[in-house]
Amino acid sequence: MTETNGSAAKPDLAALRDDIKQTRADLGATVQALAARADVKARAREQVQETKQRVLSQAAAMTGRVREAAAGATDRVRETPSRELASQAGSRVRANPMPTLLAVAGLAALAGIIMIVRGRR
């Protein structure tokens, strides 16, 4: 039987050094993560860059969709006779005259403003 006198076996010196190195590395990573969270300007810049990239990609996707729609509309206009197009436009105006009325009112207001400004000179 062996007695240990209540003390644990001494750990290996190399194992202790490896443990210290690992603890230092973990602590360094933690400090870097905390510093990155505390750097508000850098986080704001990153957020701006991410948003910019997201907007650019969405704009590119929408541009492609608009070009496809424009090409399809151009083909439909070329295939449809002009009399039929005029008839369709007339029926749309009769169905919903509000945009046309607003455009005419806007032009009349613009003409009135121009006449008033020229009269003051």
pLDDT confidence tier of residue 3, bands split at 50, 70 and 90: low
Per-residue pLDDT tens over the stretch 7-31: 566 778 888 899 999 999 999 999 9
Q: What is the DSSP string of the chain?
A: ----TT-PPPPPHHHHHHHHHHHHHHHHHHHHHHHHHH-HHHHHHHHHHHHHHHHHHHHHHHHHHHHHHHHHHHHHHHHS-HHHHHHHHHHHHHH--HHHHHHHHHHHHHHHHHHHHHHH-
Confidence (pTM)? 0.37
Quick one: pLDDT at residue 1?
A: 47
pLDDT tens digits for range 56-104 = 999 999 998 998 888 888 887 777 777 777 788 788 878 887 888 888 9
